[in-house]
Amino acid sequence: MLIELNNLGFTYMKGTPLARIALRNICLTVKEGEFVGIIGPTGSGKSTLAQLISGLLKATDGQILIDGNDIAGSGKNINGKKKIGMVFQFPEQQFFETTVFDDVAFGLRNMGCSEDRVASGVRKTLKIVGLDFELFKDRSPFFLSGGEMRKVAIACVLAMEPDILVLDEPTVGLDEVSKKAITDFLTFFHNQGKTTIICISHDIEEVSKVAERIVVLDKGELLFDDKPEKIFLETDKLLEIGLDIPDAFSLLIELNKKGFNLPTNVFRIDDVKDLLIEYFIKEQKARGYRD
Amino acid sequence: MIKISDLYYAYKVKNKHIEALKGIDLEIPKGEFVVFLGPNGSGKSTLVKHINGLLTPSAGEVVVDGINAKEDDSIWKIRQKVGMVFQNPDNQIVANVVENDIAFGPENLGLSSSEIKERVKKSLSLTKILEYSKYEPHLLSGGQKQLVAIAGALAMEPEYLILDEPTSMLDPLSRRKILKIIHDLNKNHKTTILLVTHFTDEAVNADRVYILDAGRIACYGEPRETLGNISLLSKFQIKPLAMTSLAASLVKSGIDISTSVLTVDEMVEELCLLN
Ligand SMILES: Nc1ncnc2c1ncn2[C@@H]1O[C@H](COP(=O)(O)OP(=O)(O)OP(=O)(O)O)[C@@H](O)[C@H]1O
Ligand SMILES: Nc1ncnc2c1ncn2[C@@H]1O[C@H](COP(=O)(O)OP(=O)(O)OP(=O)(O)O)[C@@H](O)[C@H]1O
Ligand SMILES: [Mg+2]
Ligand SMILES: [Mg+2]
């Protein structure tokens, strides 16, 4: 599904003295099957954008087209099919059933799956997010640890296999193994089909590993929209608005300040490692010849 | 000092018991900066909730400056000493206006209204949310709510400050600022800090790091002993710092540097020595 945002704007409580502009003039096209990361400082409008794309908020300016259709106010249903799934920034806001099983099953039942299919779907999805089916199926989603709650929230949405998957800071509060399991699955899910993924994160290193494109928001406006490696070239601007660059990339910059002459077109830790190994091995060889 | 001995805790849900803590022994001297790491569900939040009396032990003791949290009338005394920032800011917000929410703690301490005003203003400006002081907290963004929750705890100026993943939704710059604020409190006001986090980098300057696993303290030590030990971290699903794992790979490839490098600055230093 093609997503087009044309001069999209959103103002909370528009027309009242409390009006607050959250987004201004956003133009963005996300092609079917693309994986786009969204980053931006606290309060820059990321969650607002996610809710607009998911149809939970209605644009106050401009429009959102999905496959050419204006989705304004249509909720989550487009052409009668449930096709956009969103993982909320606060998982509790998503729960309404009394057991983990029923919450994850909700989307599947809605799609008209048989109870057998529902059960196997729930089992499969809980496994993906790293929750033991037997231990968690009868628990209340509201009485879990923070990370466990987020895993259930992610499972609820993944189970529906949406065409467009919107995730608002899905890895907040997850331990390293769970984080990796979920980002790996997103990559797999994305490579496998036509799913369009839009993922908000503060962890620029993490999103740049999985997203093909990164959109940077600042104060409600779109600041950059480019490939990860291009975004990192804007180091000064990123730091100025409160974002970070990966440590591996800062290391290259700091080393160059000390007289190393390393290329700065890589930012993944493994690439930096290879670069340093090559540098030092060459260096040692050169020294060897001299000695 | 916080003294926890043989602490057990089980949540009762329906007819089942979920054993969250299985024998915790812990002593935190006054003025220490300690960090709790550990996988999801390992018991971090459950443990710290015992320290300000939000939960009562199923067995064992929790004693803060000689006060046992178990005794009913002691809860009030403990809450005056121990401030807490909750993992989910929504669970902490009590008022309809940000500044009233932040005033709530100091009001409960029975401070004069001028003192309360003073503290609210100080907390708002420290956490950089002065511009939201008249807003409704539940109409803020996720990160903004988290800043309100932190400001509320700071305004109480507690002797012991517990922070349960306080920066999980903040942008990197705000995250650094909050870390600086709590390190300053620890240094200048001798505030004891108990920080729960999944960000390994937030533990680098702590006095002590505790790693929880399945309701027990699996190990503890100074940051370099714990964070610098990659195989230990991976056992407990904790992400090693980028520079520590880089150091390990470089050493493996025959580059002779220390393996317990934690920060970019330390890595630069090590590599410059080689050059
Ligand atoms: N329900 C609401 N009513 C009024 N204003 C709101 C509401 N939700 C958010 N805002 C305001 O809109 C702006 C954008 O908020 P949004 O939640 O989109 O930010 P965000 O980029 O997701 O931030 P964070 O990283 O902190 O979650 C903020 O200034 C916020 O205070
Ligand atoms: N309110 C609750 N009711 C029942 N069980 C709970 C409740 N809160 C937590 N638990 C359970 O207690 C155990 C410890 O949870 P706790 O919240 O202390 O973990 P945590 O280390 O803080 O994890 P996280 O990193 O996910 O926040 C988990 O098995 C969890 O399922
Ligand atoms: Mg948000
Ligand atoms: Mg917790």
Kindly provide the ipTM of the predicted complex, given to two decimals: 0.94
Verify whether the Cβ–Cβ distance A244 to B250 is below 8 Å. no
**Can you give the pLDDT at residue A75?**
47
Q: Are A201 and A35 in contact (CB under 8 A)?
A: no
Overall average pLDDT of the A141-158 stretch: 96
Distance B170 CA to ligand 3 centre (A): 9
Closest CA to A269 of B231, B271, B241: B241
From the CA of A147, give the closest atom in ligand 2: 26
Q: Which residues face B192 on adjacent strands?
A: B160
Q: How close A121 comes to chain B (CA, Å)?
A: 23
State in Å, rounded, how far the first CA of chain B is from the last one: 47
Select the residue of B40, B169, B242 nearest A148 (Cβ to Cβ): B40
Residue B166 placed within a domain = yes
**Can you give the pLDDT at residue B73?**
81
**Can you give the pLDDT at residue A90?**
95
The whole-model pTM stands at 0.95
Residue B11 placed within a domain = yes
Q: Which residue matches tokens 């193994």?
A: A177
Residue B31 placed within a domain = yes
Q: For the domain that residue B192 is a member of, what is the CATH number?
A: 3.40.50.300
DSSP code of residue B162: E
Extended beta strands in B98-247, E state: 160-164, 192-196, 208-213, 216-221
Residue B83 placed within a domain = yes
Verify whether the Cβ–Cβ distance B255 to A276 is below 8 Å. yes
Residue of A42, A223, A241 to mutate, interface with B, max B Cβ within 10 Å: A42
CB contacts of B237 in chain A (<8 Å) are 175-178
Residue of B13, B40, B177 to mutate, interface with A, max A Cβ within 10 Å: B40
Verify whether the Cβ–Cβ distance B143 to A258 is below 8 Å. no
**Can you give the pLDDT at residue B15?**
81
- Tell whether the model's pLDDT for residue B97 goes beyond 80: yes
Token couple for B13: 């849900």
| Residues 6 or more apart whose Cβ sits within 8 Å of residue A71 | A55, A64, A65, A78
Residue B271 placed within a domain = no
The residue nearest atom 14 of ligand 1, judged by CA position, is A45
Overall average pLDDT of the A110-139 stretch: 94
- Tell whether the model's pLDDT for residue A289 goes beyond 80: no
Interchain contact B140–A (C-beta under 8 A):
yes
Overall average pLDDT of the B45-49 stretch: 98
- Tell whether the model's pLDDT for residue B162 goes beyond 80: yes
> What's the total number of domains in chain B?
1
For residue A250, the surrounding DSSP H or E stretch is helix A247-257
Give percent of chain B above pLDDT 90.
89
C-alpha B119: how far from chain center: 21
Give percent of chain B above pLDDT 70.
100
Verify whether the Cβ–Cβ distance A42 to B141 is below 8 Å. yes
Domain range for B41 is 2-223
Verify whether the Cβ–Cβ distance A175 to B198 is below 8 Å. yes
Q: Are A132 and A122 in contact (CB under 8 A)?
A: no
Positive or negative, the CA dihedral B221, B260, A174, A155 is negative
Residue B255 placed within a domain = no
Say how far apart CA A279 and CA A282 lie, in whole Å: 5
Distance A38 CA to ligand 1 centre (A): 15
The residue nearest atom 26 of ligand 1, judged by CA position, is B143
**Can you give the pLDDT at residue B13?**
86
| Residues 6 or more apart whose Cβ sits within 8 Å of residue A184 | none
**Can you give the pLDDT at residue B198?**
96
Residue B70 placed within a domain = yes
Verify whether the Cβ–Cβ distance B141 to A43 is below 8 Å. yes
Residues 96..125 of A with a Cβ closer than 8 Å to B: which?
A: none
- Tell whether the model's pLDDT for residue A76 goes beyond 50: no
- Tell whether the model's pLDDT for residue B72 goes beyond 80: no
Residue B229 placed within a domain = no
Q: Which amino acid is at A175?
A: D
- Nearest residue in A to B256, CA atom: A280
**Can you give the pLDDT at residue A238?**
93
**Can you give the pLDDT at residue A169?**
97
- Nearest residue in B to A248, CA atom: B242
Interchain contact A40–B (C-beta under 8 A):
yes
Pocket lining for ligand 1, CB < 6 angstroms: A 12, 20, 22, 40, 42-48, 89; B 139-144, 169
Q: Which of A131, A148, A171, A178 to mutate to test the pocket of ligand 2 (most atoms within 8 A of CB)?
A: A148
Overall average pLDDT of the B19-47 stretch: 97
